[in-house]
A and B are shown apart, each in its own frame.
Chain A
């Protein structure tokens, strides 16, 4: 039993190593660097409560006396604060790690939300056809004609009006996820729908239908696994877009509040200090954001090229 499992795992590994995907991965140094950077940042962010040198979210632990310390390598640097501190005395490195955590959380959650919504609607649309299909696709078309940022802004605006400011601050992260997720579902729906249309007429679906399986099971158990291929690419690119969107909204002051800062919020707060010499308060979060998005984008680009046989 265990031997066969090991053998199968080895076999899988072997196959993965020989696959085109892996090959093209190894052949591009840029992609490897990007993957490495993404990995480091994701781990650093995800485990920031353990890894970060300071807990910047615990107000009792930060001290105004430590504020505005420059990075360690500059004159007046403080060895406790590798990348310096902000105007309240928060360690920038820790703030960035916590901020990246919020950014990535919003990014991943909104992509997953968009994917679940989009895939479900796409499957329904493709399989059911008729009025439902027309309705969903029209809605998709309409939404696609508006830029995501506008839709996200609008949804945020609606929540801002509907909730009192305090509740809105508390729920801001989830409002962001909802807003960004709702503005990105269309691509998934359209992709899944078109593959569903292809799969629907294949024999295995016919067979399943003949055996009397309910449509729900046919769609989710049989069609779904066969239409997920391109989703990974869309999701990766969307992740980058979602992170940018969140950062932009937070920069504009309508996103995540400073009590739970994301990278965008950090940049907004730091922007006031850009001209006054305390550049590290805005530049480091800016670099972190740029690097994160760049890395994710590179991975997305590479995935798309690697999975698109036409370009090889």
Chain B
């Protein structure tokens, strides 16, 4: 057990190291930071002085060390575009993205799992066919197209829901939440559905195929032979056994949600990190790109590690394997 955890920690550390290296490379070799900071009329001598002051003339190893130690302190320098510390910008935007992803994740599970169970149990019913068609559409229609259509129907035609922004937010120190106001809830519905639809489809299909496979297995056949009630077989045995992969995927998808938020935030002008990252790419604002990259990598690494550990706890077979 300890060995396993240690190994995972070590792996995560390597990943973060590699990502830091990538971010550092981007930071230093793409677009000279000095050129980005000074005007056209700055003299060569002034440029050189600035280079010296920024430490750009130090050996690369020293610079990398400084980059990593700054990153540990959540310090990524100034955004070229916003002229503000990147860390502050990100902290401003983080709550919006996390809230959106969280609501989308809940939507994904609350709708996706029951749909998956149903389609798994009633493979050929009409409703199942409808669900499967919806899921196919969910996979096929790109997120941005779904978002545009939702805005067109619910904001412009029906005028039920707002088409942009977070509505009214309440501040708690560094955290601002839209989940305490009616307008905040109204604002989150369409972005969350748009963001969650693709993942919901995945979860539904996963639950369905796992159910199909489990229901075919010997122990379920045996349970049926023993005359257990359908209900207890379906939910007590079958569903329980499908949960391991569902947990894994759902966990991993949380990371995807945060990443896919880039698209949803763009369509709905949701003031989160994704929108800022996209704008940064368009104008090559490297400090923001590097910081976002590091932060997302950190999220992913943490999520993966937690999922792995959960997996380890839930699935006894893994424990046997690793002790061998």
Contacts and interface: CB of A to CB of B under 8 A. Distances in A.
A294 B140 contact: yes
A289 interface: yes
Contacts, number: 98
Q: Size range of the interface on A? A: 35 or more
A157 interface: yes
B128 interface: no
A254 B144 contact: no
Contacts of A253: 278, 282
A65 B124 CA distance: 54
A252 B304 contact: no
A142 B140 contact: no
A290 interface: yes
B286 interface: yes
A161 B26 contact: yes
B30 A162 contact: yes
Q: Which of A145, A157, A253 has the most CB of B within 10 A?
A: A157
B21 interface: no
Interface string A258-270: 0000001001000
Contact of A150 (B143, B259, B301): B259
B11 interface: yes
Interface in A246-300: 247-248, 251-254, 264, 267, 271, 274-275, 282, 286, 289-290, 293-294, 297-298
Interface stretch (B51-59, B95-103, B260-268): B260-268
B278 A311 contact: no
B255 A145 contact: yes
Interface residues of B, number: 44
A253 B263 CA distance: 11
A171 B161 CA distance: 41
B136 A294 contact: yes
Contacts of A158: 26, 30
A293 B140 contact: yes
B212 interface: yes
B148 A248 contact: no
A147 interface: yes
Contact of B142 (A147, A248, A274, A301): A248
A13 to B, nearest CB: 31
Interface in B129-143: 136-137, 139-143
